[in-house]
Amino acid sequence: MAGVWVGAAALVAAGWRGRRSPHRLMRGAALWTLKDVPHYSRQCLMVSRSLCSARCDSNEKTFDKILIANRGEIACRVIKTCKKMGIKTVAIHSDVDASSVHVKMADEAVCVGPAPTSKSYLNMDAIMEAIKKTGAQAVHPGYGFLSENREFAKCLAEEDVIFIGPDTHAIQAMGDKIESKLLAKKAKVNTIPGFDGVVKDADEAVRIAREIGYPVMIKASAGGGGKGMRIAWDDEETRDGFRFSSQEAASSFGDDRLLIEKFIDNPRHIEIQVLGDKHGNALWLNERECSIQRRNQKVVEEAPSIFLDSETRRAMGEQAVALAKAVKYSSAGTVEFLVDSKKNFYFLEMNTRLQVEHPVTECITGLDLVQEMIRVAKGYPLRHKQADIPINGWAVECRVYAEDPYKSFGLPSIGRLSQYQEPIHLPGVRVDSGIQPGSDISIYYDPMISKLITYGSDRTEALKRMEDALDNYVIRGVTHNIALLREVIINSRFIKGDINTKFLSDVYPDGFKGHKLTENERNQLLAIASSLFVASQLRAQRFLEHENSRVPIIKPQVATWELSIKLRDEVHTVVASNSGPTFSVEVDGSKLNVTSTWNLASPLLSVNIDGTERTIQCLSREAGGTMSIQFLGTVIHPGTRPVYRHTGEPRGCFEKVCLCGHAEGVRTTSKYKVHILTKLAAELNKFMLEKVAEDTSSTLRSPMPGVVVAVSVKPGDMVAEGQEICVIEAMKMQNSMTAGKTGKVKLVHCKAGDTVGEGDLLVELE
């Protein structure tokens, strides 16, 4: 057979989801010839062929059946590698996840409880029963949930079920931030100054913080992912941080213990991927740059880091391996560091699991980390030496969330995906997801839609591919963060590598407001919008003529279209004419030629503007002349909406939202407005009455869907500006709602335990 055969998971590791139907990958041992692989993937495979020579060794037996104790994209990711290895899979799911993609992909599926995580994905008894019922020999925990739970690993061991991860000693040692820091010091790993014990209460937290010196980081001893982490700059923020961090830690990990350490201002967050086996071998698989964060949660990651030199990389890798060997670590794991401007690095924590951003490491090394974890769990030694591990090319990952980036850089959004199309038709693109058209994004779980990964021969190519991929990503039905992701990767500071963990708050001090158009981009937008308007008008004039029709149809002959377009508060006069697929548009004295297929039914539209290629999405067109367009990542629409920002970054990492529903101190601004009318309609429109905006100064509405955790006021209470009104938990993060003005509480429309939607009325003032 022509070509060289490689496993489907090797293509996944190389950063490719395929130009063919992903369902074919789901059905088992799909094999592809090298001629089927895109150029960038071929290059990656060729470099790493020595690493992957044993990848398809059918004599290397592992497990017959594996249960994946997780959901969503990571469950799908594990199932794909299991299928390539010929291993049957079992999915667990809550009742609301019964139709999820990971359930459909697996060979078997078992419901483990209702929607709340404590009753399903954290329900060890139900999961253990599912293991017994299905006869699974091993469990892959993914990340989050029970992935770093020592008791779960212990329960599996007692039932002779293999935990695909490190042993219980390593989980306990590294999963506990206090113990891990002490072990890191013993292994001669650089550590951050701080208190190495458990903080008992808020008063002790204040005392310790004063001794260390502000600012300090308060964080959960168990778990990670930004849950239970707060930055405090004074005593008041320390008390608030202790309260919220302990509550979040208990909710997310079932462990409310906290520790406090010195907060290193303006650091980079760089982590080292490690891989160890049960025979004392350990490797470091290069680094990942994870500095672009909001609320201590990563947004954009890349590998390698533009900041590290080979000497620093080696030093960090060697310390990471030293720590792994100190706890006899066996599996894939990640040692996280904070790195200052002088390349001094300090141990932050070790995640004893597969990391969310592992795909970028797979892209530059050619390794399938899930397969390596399965091999190690079965007892096989590592197949590679440190000298074998390459850095081949560059990979970037964007976490695509169902979030509103205009609220604190991303407060959760819920809803059903009415339309969904991944940009996997583009070269160098990989998408790890666990959703499909019709999937629901609910309040019960993390709002991640997918991980979008692009790979290139260098950083410039990888970023350009990411820009194209974001423009070609179709997501309808929920608010998403595509606009923010696109702005980050094209930002001049990011391109130069001038980044740190405060990047978002530094670049957008007044909150994210979408793309700021240059004059040329504004003219392009106006030309595209007018061309779309005329194209839709021309389509509406078409009639199917019957040759024997008795009624003659007179078609209006319009040579040019004079239009009035309102963009934000500016009105522009545009003259458009067309010749076939090309529109000639005059915008404020500038002439542009716009060419496209003008397939108005397609969710994506490729447009050429005087030689410049743009991909746009026309989300809606209304008879009144309003049009919603996604252009350069930002949705251009006719309405106004408030912009929110996270007032506490870095001064405290919990959201304080004022009574009117806006983040503290933020002016209400609008995004771009596009309103297109003919010249005559624009003249008549002047006589239309404008809708009076609602006075929101005395009402508190929920800025996000979530659950009310606590209500601090009752009718008749006097509240001061900045006083806490209630607390809402969304996707395991707690958000404090505060009064925007001094006043008397008139009505309280919620109570603890209530589920609220975005915009729901919570409290009214007189």
Q: Give me the active site residues, please.
A: 349
User: How far is 23 from 19, CA to CA, in rounded Å?
Assistant: 11
Strand residues in 580-670 grouped as ranges (E):
582-587, 590-595, 605-609, 612-621, 627-631, 634-636, 656-657
DSSP letter (8 states) at residue 123: -
Kindly state the tokens that stand for 576.
């458009």
Kindly state the tokens that stand for 570.
């500016």
Strand residues in 304-378 grouped as ranges (E):
331-339, 345-351
Do residues 414 and 703 lie in contact, with contact meaning Cβ atoms separated by under 8 Å?
A: no
Q: CA angle, corner 536, sides to 532 and 537, nearest 5?
A: 120
Do residues 656 and 733 lie in contact, with contact meaning Cβ atoms separated by under 8 Å?
A: no
User: How far is 195 from 367, CA to CA, in rounded Å?
Assistant: 38
Give strand pairing partners of 316: none
Going by their DSSP bridges, the two strands 656-657 and 634-636 should be labelled as unpaired
The 10 Å Cβ neighbour count of residue 4 is: 14
Q: Residue 132: CA atoms inside 13 Å, Cβ hemisphere, count?
A: 11
3-class state of residue 716 by DSSP: coil
Of 645, 649, 654, 647, give the one whose Cα is nearest residue 241. Answer: 654
User: How far is 116 from 113, CA to CA, in rounded Å?
Assistant: 8
Kindly state the tokens that stand for 513.
């407001």
Q: What is the largest CA-CA distance in the chain?
A: 95
Do residues 97 and 164 lie in contact, with contact meaning Cβ atoms separated by under 8 Å?
A: no
Contacts of 240 (CB under 8 A, 6+ apart): 230, 232, 652, 654, 736
Distance from CA of residue 318 to its chain's centroid?
30
Packing angle, helices 369-378 and 72-84, rounded to 10: 70
Element (H, E) at 119: none
User: How far is 234 from 251, CA to CA, in rounded Å?
Assistant: 25
User: How far is 582 from 605, CA to CA, in rounded Å?
Assistant: 14
Measured CA distances, 648 to 5, 106, 134, 563, 589 (Å): 53, 42, 48, 45, 45
